[in-house]
Each structure stands twice: as C-alpha cells, then as structure tokens.
Amino acid sequence: QVQLQESGPGLVKPSETLSLTCTVSGGSITDYYWSWIRQPPGKGLEWIGYIYYTGNTNYNPSLKSRVTISVDTSKNQFSLKLNSVTAADTAIYYCTTGGATSFDPFDIWGQGTMVTVSS
C-alpha cells in the first residue's frame, strides 16, 4: 500500500519561496499521477496541481504563475515550490495520488504539513 509523507519548513517569511517534498513509500513514483492540495486553517480544500513521473504537469490557474511541481524518480519523491508567498498561503499542504483526469481521484493522502507564512 502506497504511503505519502510531506516534509519541509513549517515557517516561511512573506515574499519568500515555500518548498515542500513528498516521499512515496510502498510503491513507485511511476505508478500514479501525483497532486498537491492545500487547506487554509478552518477553510476548504484547494487543488494546487499535479505531476507525472515524466515531468508532465498541470497547475491550478489561480496559482499557476507562482507554482512549480517537480519529480525526482531516483528518490521516489515529488516537490512543490510556491514563490512570493503571503499570509494567504498559510495552510496545511497535502500530497496525494491522482488528479490527472476526471477518472483519477485523490485516492491516497499524506498526513499533511502545516506551513505558516509570517515574518
């Protein structure tokens, strides 16, 4: 059974870049599409984007100008970079499987990691 674990700094300063990594265990990074989803405190879910092991990506238009998702097949990991962050980017960030199409839901989720944007 695939398991996902997010890692990265819990505190990022405004205007800087948020960087998170998701480590895949119990399966191969080539097996699925992979997504990032975030949830501001007390609020709903927002899809950030997906990546395939080939490097093919798709991003939420609302975040596209600031987001980069990449993959490292040698480490069985994929990563999220969000630049020029503000307090509005404070959220729990989840990595998940799926998200490539309407037929490809978010089956497996990591536990999530809280990122606070503050000076």
Partner 1 sequence: QSVLTQPPSASGTPGQRVTISCSGSSSNIGMNYVYWFQQLPGTAPILFMYKNDQRPSGVPDRFSGSKSGTSASLAISGLRSEDEADYYCAAWDDILYAWVFGGGTRLTVL
Interacting residues with partner 1 (CB under 8 A): 35, 43-47, 58, 60-62, 94, 99, 101-103, 105-107, 109-112
Q: Cβ closer to partner 1: 16 or 60?
A: 60
**Nearest distance in Å: CB 111, partner 1:** 6
Q: Cβ closer to partner 1: 16 or 39?
A: 39
- C-alpha to C-alpha distances, 58 to 26, 36, 115, nearest whole angstrom: 25, 11, 22
**Nearest distance in Å: CB 96, partner 1:** 9
Buried b (16+ CB within 10 A) or exposed e, 13-29: eeeeebbbbbbbeeeeb
